[in-house]
Structure 1
Amino acid sequence: MAAAGCFCLASRQAARKITRLYDSYMQESGIRITQFTILSQLMLRGEMPIGRLAGILGMERTTLTRNLAVLEQQKWISIKAGDDPRARMISITRQGRNVVRRSFPFWSKAQAHLSRLLGADGQAALKLLDARNLG
């Protein structure tokens, strides 16, 4: 069967395994890799609307909104109305910045571990897929 070698299935399985690997390293920091990714992007890029953040992260808006609710409860982000009342602006708080700084060493260890597992060719393939903007 041709579907046995489905790249979509293989990539989704790989993504889940990679997430679990990062989460195992991040566990001691007290946050999940998805939370770290959202917070670190806000820290790097500054305040932005939910739609733009969803695009950067490659997430559906509804999934991102659920994740943001947890971060807001923790007071790691702030959500406010934008110039257009329909747009909601997301920014990282001081507490959120502290969480990123505290969690960075755990992320860094996970990153190094995955880098070793992928090797140069695997890293290049991931970057190539990102550069081709498949969707």
Structure 2
Amino acid sequence: MIKSSSMVACNSFATRQAARYITRLYERHLGTAHVTSTQFSILVLLSETSGMTMSELADALVMERTSLVRAIKPMERDGWLKAERVSQDTRKLVLSLTLQGQNKVQEALPLWQKAQQEFEAQVGSERAAQWRHDFLELTRGT
């Protein structure tokens, strides 16, 4: 980090640096399963529901729909998830996991747990829990 820069007082700069650092840590672990951290989040969210629309998933991830579409295309191609039209509204797509997607979650979960352990070893469990709470509280307001 550049200590002499005026950017050290910038909240955006600091949080983006932290986000990139944390993403690299998690992706180093998840890479063994050929999953990015964004893909892992999508897979887990879909594994916990019976299906989500693109809008619901984008909202849950605090992500632009166009970015979400780019993220799910390779997952559809690889057979991890499927998109089906809702019968009442043919414009809406509901995303859900396939069996391959469920298997991918099971493969990636222990790797994610190792990433969690490494991160918490670096910053402490209590501090990590407080950060999660604070960041989730912040994003729920959006």
Compute the TM-score of the two structures, normalised by the length of structure 1: 0.91
Distance 1:114 1:2 in 2: 28
- The residue type equivalent to 1:10 in the other structure is A
CA RMSD of aligned residues (A): 1.6
- The residue type equivalent to 1:87 in the other structure is K
- The residue type equivalent to 1:69 in the other structure is K
- Which residue is 1:104 aligned to? 109
Distance 1:105 1:26 in 2: 9
Residue 71 of structure 1: how far off its partner (Å)? 0.4
Q: Which runs of 5+ in 2 are unaligned?
A: none
- The residue type equivalent to 2:129 in the other structure is Q
- The residue type equivalent to 2:98 in the other structure is T
Find out whether 1:17 has 2:29 as its counterpart.
no
Distance 2:91 2:15 in 1: 35
Among 30, 49, 69, the residue aligned to 2:73: 69
Residue 66 of structure 1: how far off its partner (Å)? 0.7
% same residue: 33
Return structure 1 stretches of 4+ with deviation > 4 angstroms. none
- The residue type equivalent to 2:119 in the other structure is L
- Which residue is 2:91 aligned to? 86
Find out whether 1:58 has 2:93 as its counterpart.
no
Task: Please say if residues 85 and 94 of structure 2, whose CA atoms lie closer than 8 Å, have aligned partners that are also in contact.
Answer: yes
Task: Please say if residues 8 and 14 of structure 2, whose CA atoms lie closer than 8 Å, have aligned partners that are also in contact.
Answer: no
Q: Secondary structure at the match of 1:79?
A: strand
Among 47, 52, 57, the residue aligned to 2:51: 47
Q: Which runs of 5+ in 1 are unaligned?
A: none
Among 116, 126, 129, the residue aligned to 2:132: 126
- The residue type equivalent to 1:16 in the other structure is R
Q: Secondary structure at the match of 1:54?
A: helix
Compute the TM-score of the two structures, normalised by the length of structure 2: 0.87
Task: Please say if residues 80 and 101 of structure 2, whose CA atoms lie closer than 8 Å, have aligned partners that are also in contact.
Answer: yes
Q: Secondary structure at the match of 1:89?
A: strand
